Amino acid sequence: MALPKVNPTTTQAWKKLQNHFTQTQKTHLRELFAKDTQRGTKFSMQWEDFLVDFSKNRITQETVDLLLELAEEVGLKSSIDSYFKGDLINQTEGRAVLHTALRAQKEDEVLVDGQNVVPEVFEVKEKIKSFSHAVISGAKKGFTGKAFTDVVNIGIGGSDLGPVMVTEALKFYKNHLNTHFVSNVDGDHVHEVLKTLDPETTLFVVVSKTFTTQETLSNALTIKKWFLEHASEGDIAKHFAAVSTNQEKIDEFGIAQENVFPMWDWVGGRFSLWSAVGLSIALAVGYDNFDGLLSGANQMDTHFRQAPFAENVPVVLAMLSVWYNNFYGAETEAIIPYTQYLNRFSAYLQQGIMESNGKSVDRAGKRTNYETGTIIWGEPGTNSQHAFFQLIHQGTKLIPTDFIGFKESLHGDVDHHNKLMANFFAQTEALMNGKTREEVKSELQGQGLSQEELEVLLPFKVFEGNKPTNTILIDKLTPKSLGALIALYEHKIFVQGIVWNIFSYDQWGVELGKQLAKNILADIENSGIGKHDSSTLHLLQHFKK
């Protein structure tokens, strides 16, 4: 079934939300907390080992009810069914969107063109399992008979960001294999990585759904050339693996069939880490941990599919984000994990969220008359506190922020963890409460400032507060909880795409630049320069001089 095509601004709920916004927009979070001492627990959801506190948002129960009414009115329920059932909801590419099938359970049935794809998924999982076991145990050897010490993932976008983010996030669970990632077409990237490697003990995994991506193919060919300076053509079979849907191109590249891992066109690049695209994850942390990641995601899938909207973590977080994006006019959202392990989490979600919902044409093919995709950014706390938090606290922009933290630290350093988490809790409290003129005044008086000095300093020291945050507090960073956390954001993307009436699973917006780059490469490599605007022409002439 096709997704509904409802312009959200035409719904009853949207109109009610607009009125509600006019009436409540001046209310300070401080007032809401003062009015209801149970607010913290009332606007919290406990799911498995996740506590999601959304009480520090500019909402009342009425806001939540209306947002959920909006979700109903745009047909979210039937859309979720279409998503999980494998309907062709990536309509502009005529494809299903089934990354959820990659973490399905063995007995599940997910039909694509009338065929259950779960057995195929499990076949590939088995192959990932035996391949990663063989490499980790040292049974699989390089061309001189040595065991592998290093793995290089060659890919870009979804074929890089997921594996990088997860291997960083699960570093604690890592084995002896060193993992490297080559993504940028910038030759300095690949050459920097190559200079640290021994061709005898390095395994290369070329990951490209299409196997036509310029960056990945250029890097793979450069690496192959480097490898062949040390080994012979026949040794490629021992050192190169590929993950792709494009068997023909893999054959052209010369990768042995036993090292080829299939993918499917019903898995979008930015949602593909659960497939063999995650091979470098399985190699880095072992298959069982990779499977743990999948099972956490699967649990979140079940929750998203079954929980009533009011208790549904992805739905609630998605609708809160709609509230700020479309009613408060907030343009960006920050995601701040309080663990160094999640240092690539925001970068990963930038692709997931912005490539999906950065659209301005609705599902009926018309320009939207409302805002869509949010701009995502963030870095781990506490580093971000010493970098850009000033702007969140006292700048002019409204930046709803997700705080993600863990009750337990992995190395068990209680002293550090208590300090880290004290900052975690302090920030959302500070952002919510701020500091009033009166509070600043009495603080400065306490410091013995004269009335005159106090008046000068006062405005700079006031914090307005009323800054919205969500707190996601998880027991421990494990493969399972990480899988669930990623899946939570994936489903948030889906919900927002449905509300905004856009197609979240294509990415035509990246094509134009790719096409132009091809022509410009010819301008750079050939003697003349083709037709360009005066700026581009001038720049190219300068570059070629």
- Cβ–Cβ under 8 Å, residues 394 and 459: no
Angstrom CA distances, 203 to 48, 131, 138, 321, 331, stand at 38, 12, 12, 42, 42
- 72 tagged catalytic: no
CB of 438 to ligand F6P, least distance (A): 52
| SS3 per residue for 36-73 | CCCHHHHCEEEECCEEEECCCCCCCHHHHHHHHHHHHH
d(CA 479, CA 289): 6
Which one, 213 or 325, has the nearer CB to ligand F6P? Answer: 213
| Binding of residue 417 to ligand F6P (CB under 6 A) | no
| Binding of residue 157 to ligand F6P (CB under 6 A) | yes
Which one, 520 or 540, has the nearer CB to ligand F6P? Answer: 520
The residue type of 448 is G
CB of 265 to ligand F6P, least distance (A): 11
d(CA 122, CA 127): 9
- The DSSP call for residue 374 is -
CB of 272 to ligand F6P, least distance (A): 7
Contacting range for ligand F6P; rule: CB under 6 A; set: 154-162, 176-184, 459-467, 494-502: 154-162
Which one, 269 or 497, has the nearer CB to ligand F6P? Answer: 269
Token pair for 112: 């694509």
| Binding of residue 209 to ligand F6P (CB under 6 A) | yes
| SS3 per residue for 494-515 | HHHHHHCCCCCCCCHHHHHHHH
Which one, 213 or 466, has the nearer CB to ligand F6P? Answer: 213
Q: What is the dihedral of CA 74, 80, 83, 85, to 10 degrees?
A: -130
d(CA 90, CA 100): 14
Q: How many CA atoms lie within 13 A of 198 on its CB side?
A: 12
CB of 185 to ligand F6P, least distance (A): 12
d(CA 358, CA 354): 5
Contacting range for ligand F6P; rule: CB under 6 A; set: 59-67, 155-163, 182-190, 296-304: 155-163
Residue 454: count other Cβ atoms within 10 Å of its Cβ.
Answer: 17
| Binding of residue 497 to ligand F6P (CB under 6 A) | no
d(CA 141, CA 135): 7
Residue of 8, 269, 296, 468 that binds ligand F6P (CB under 6 A):
269
Question: Is 202 strand, coil or helix?
Answer: strand
CB of 351 to ligand F6P, least distance (A): 7
CB of 209 to ligand F6P, least distance (A): 4
Q: Which residues of 60-85 are buried (b: 16+ CB within 10 A; e: fewer)?
A: beebbebbbbbbebbbbeebbebbbe
Contacting range for ligand F6P; rule: CB under 6 A; set: 50-58, 125-133, 205-213, 518-526: 205-213
Q: Site size for ligand F6P, by CB under 6 A?
A: 14
| Binding of residue 363 to ligand F6P (CB under 6 A) | no
d(CA 79, CA 77): 5
Chain position carrying tokens 């794809």: 117
CB of 270 to ligand F6P, least distance (A): 5
Which one, 156 or 177, has the nearer CB to ligand F6P? Answer: 156
The residue type of 135 is V
Which one, 254 or 509, has the nearer CB to ligand F6P? Answer: 509
Contacting range for ligand F6P; rule: CB under 6 A; set: 157-165, 250-258, 375-383, 403-411: 157-165
| Binding of residue 504 to ligand F6P (CB under 6 A) | no
Choice among 168, 200, 355, 490 that is catalytic: 355
| Binding of residue 325 to ligand F6P (CB under 6 A) | no
| Binding of residue 90 to ligand F6P (CB under 6 A) | no
d(CA 401, CA 185): 33
Choice among 26, 195, 225, 386 that is catalytic: 386
Rg (CA), the chain: 25
d(CA 128, CA 108): 20
Choice among 35, 514, 538, 544 that is catalytic: 514
> By CB under 6 A, what part of segment 337-356 binds ligand F6P?
355
Angstrom CA distances, 493 to 252, 372, 416, 442, stand at 36, 11, 34, 45
- 355 tagged catalytic: yes
Residue of 7, 210, 332, 436 that binds ligand F6P (CB under 6 A):
210
CB of 283 to ligand F6P, least distance (A): 18
d(CA 352, CA 165): 12
Which one, 51 or 520, has the nearer CB to ligand F6P? Answer: 520
- 238 tagged catalytic: no
| Binding of residue 216 to ligand F6P (CB under 6 A) | yes
| Binding of residue 510 to ligand F6P (CB under 6 A) | yes
Which one, 172 or 508, has the nearer CB to ligand F6P? Answer: 508
The residue type of 535 is S
| Binding of residue 213 to ligand F6P (CB under 6 A) | yes
User: Any idea which residues carry the catalytic annotation?
Assistant: 355, 386, 514
Residues that bind ligand F6P (CB under 6 A): 156-159, 208-210, 213, 216, 269-270, 355, 507, 510
